[in-house]
Amino acid sequence: MNPSIFDVYLLSLIDRGLETPYDLLKQGGVSLGSAVPALRRLEAASLVKGMAQVGSSKRLRHRFKLSNAGRKLARSGWKSHLKTPNHPDIDAVLRVADVAQHYSAKDDQITAFLEAAASERRLAARSGTSVSEKIRNSLGLATTRGAWNVSRLLAEARFLEGLAKSFRQNGTKSPKH
Residue 129 has pLDDT above 70, yes or no: no
List, as one string, the DSSP characters of 43-79.
HHTTSEEEEEEE-TTS-EEEEEEE-HHHHHHHHHTTH
For domain 5-77, say whether CATH 1.50.40.10 is its number.
no
Residue 136 has pLDDT above 60, yes or no: no
Cα gap 121→98, rounded to integer Å? 19
Would you list the domain boundaries of the chain?
Answer: 5-77, 90-170
Torsion of CA 49, 98, 117, 136, to 10 degrees: 80
pTM of the model: 0.81
- 40-91: pLDDT as tens digits: 999 999 999 998 876 666 777 889 999 999 999 999 999 999 988 777 789 9
pLDDT at residue 134, as a whole number:
47
C-alpha distance from residue 27 to each of 30, 113, 177 (Å): 8, 25, 20
